[in-house]
Amino acid sequence: MDWDHFRVFLAVARGGQLSAAARRLGVNHTTVARRLDALEAELGSALFERRPTGCVLTEAGERLIPLAERIEIETRAALAAVSSGETEVTGTVRVGAPDGLGNSFLARELGLFAAQHPGITVELVPLPVKFSVSRREADLVIELSRPTTGRLVATRLVDYSLGVYASKDYLADHGQPASLDDLAGHRLVTGIDDYTFSSALDYATTLQVYSKRLYRCAGATSQFEAIRAGAGIGVLHDFMTLDAEGLVRVLPDISFSRTYWLVGHPGATSIAAIAACRRYLVETFRRQRRHFLPFGPPKVSTSPE
């Protein structure tokens, strides 16, 4: 049975369309359709319902996904082992992460990893979205909660804290709140519910009880920039503010605690480039644990549970 057929099958399953699979694989639409037809004929089952809007997995297709992914991982591991031999580790590793962590910490740290491993191409995707390891949207994903479903390996990286912040200019114009009740006269910078991909990001609701004047921004990075520019008061990751001038931590008794988890596919540990990146991330977070709790454990810890 031809591995290329499975590769095409996975590309269609992940992209949802023959054309999307063709772009990902660098072949034409006809080649994708022909190889998919060949695989379905060999297996004696339809793997997709091909509709005008895209391809939907059948029950047989759903059953084939885990097997195809194992073949994919083992093929990548074999190719990496043969090509690397005793030389440097090579390959591509895609890391998905929340935008706040990705832009303010991982962009720098993974840059150092890339410098240490010139044969590895690192792809950092720092977006406020949910990544799927199973669908190969990323090889490693940093999440805000431990996965409870799927064949995934999760490692606790670090606990981190968040606090309530405003810019010096904003406080000069509007005054500094001394209690949560004082927030009634202030504008709050919060996230957008439709783009909140994890229940662990619900901390802003604690403040919204006290003020209905809102400025909503999707993503931690945009909220950080809005608060620093004087748009209002909001919750920020403490580690993002360490080198930021002009920000003041207000209401210091109100703080939040969350946890970062590193998630990957169990079979991917046999791929040298992914394994090396995973080791580096675990060691880096453990070494810099204090960076994520700069004010110590939160005095009032609010968790999503």
- Do strands 120-126 and 153-167 pair parallel, antiparallel, or not at all (unpaired)? unpaired
* Residues 185 and 232 grouped into a single domain: yes
| Pairwise CA distance, residues 84 & 90, whole Å | 7
* Residues 158 and 39 grouped into a single domain: no
Q: Which of 52, 84, 116 is the last residue of a domain?
A: 84
* Residues 215 and 167 grouped into a single domain: yes
Q: Which of 59, 84, 109 is the last residue of a domain?
A: 84
Interior/surface letters 203-221, b for 16+ CB within 10 angstroms, e for the rest: bbeebeebbeeeebbbbbb
Higher pLDDT, 175 or 88: 175
Q: How confident is the model at residue 301 (pLDDT cuts 50, 70, 90)?
A: very low
Q: How confident is the model at residue 303 (pLDDT cuts 50, 70, 90)?
A: very low
* Residues 25 and 106 grouped into a single domain: no
Q: Which of 84, 103, 129 is the last residue of a domain?
A: 84
pLDDT value at 149 more than 90: no
Q: How confident is the model at residue 305 (pLDDT cuts 50, 70, 90)?
A: very low
Q: How confident is the model at residue 304 (pLDDT cuts 50, 70, 90)?
A: very low
**Whole-number pLDDT of residue 91:** 86
Q: What is the DSSP letter of 68?
A: H
* Residues 33 and 65 grouped into a single domain: yes
| Pairwise CA distance, residues 161 & 180, whole Å | 19
- Cα dist. 209→15, 61, 184, 199 in Å? 41, 47, 9, 18
* Residues 103 and 164 grouped into a single domain: yes
Instruction: Give the range among 12-16, 97-101, 245-249 with minimum mean pLDDT.
Output: 12-16
DSSP string covering 215-236, please? EE-SSHHHHHHHHHTTS-EEEE
* Residues 211 and 76 grouped into a single domain: no
* Residues 23 and 140 grouped into a single domain: no
CATH number at residue 13: 1.10.10.10
Question: How many domains does the structure of the chain reveal?
Answer: 2
- Do strands 140-143 and 247-264 pair parallel, antiparallel, or not at all (unpaired)? antiparallel
* Predicted confidence (pLDDT) per residue in 238-267, tens digit: 999 998 889 999 999 888 999 999 998 876
Q: How confident is the model at residue 147 (pLDDT cuts 50, 70, 90)?
A: confident
* Residues 150 and 185 grouped into a single domain: yes
For the chain, the C-alpha Rg in angstroms (whole number) is 23
CATH number at residue 273: 3.40.190.290
Report the pLDDT averaged over residues 22-49: 89
* Residues 95 and 25 grouped into a single domain: no
* Residues 151 and 29 grouped into a single domain: no
* Residues 119 and 222 grouped into a single domain: yes
Q: Which amino acid is at 283?
A: E
pLDDT value at 137 more than 50: yes
Tell me if 233 sits within 8 A of 214, measured CB to CB: no
- How many C-beta neighbours within 10 Å does residue 227 have? 27
Residues spanned by the domain of 186: 88-305
Q: How confident is the model at residue 146 (pLDDT cuts 50, 70, 90)?
A: confident
* Predicted confidence (pLDDT) per residue in 36-91, tens digit: 999 989 899 899 998 888 889 999 988 888 788 777 777 766 666 665 555 678 88
Average of per-residue pLDDT values in the chain: 85
* Predicted confidence (pLDDT) per residue in 202-236, tens digit: 677 778 888 989 999 988 999 999 999 999 999 99
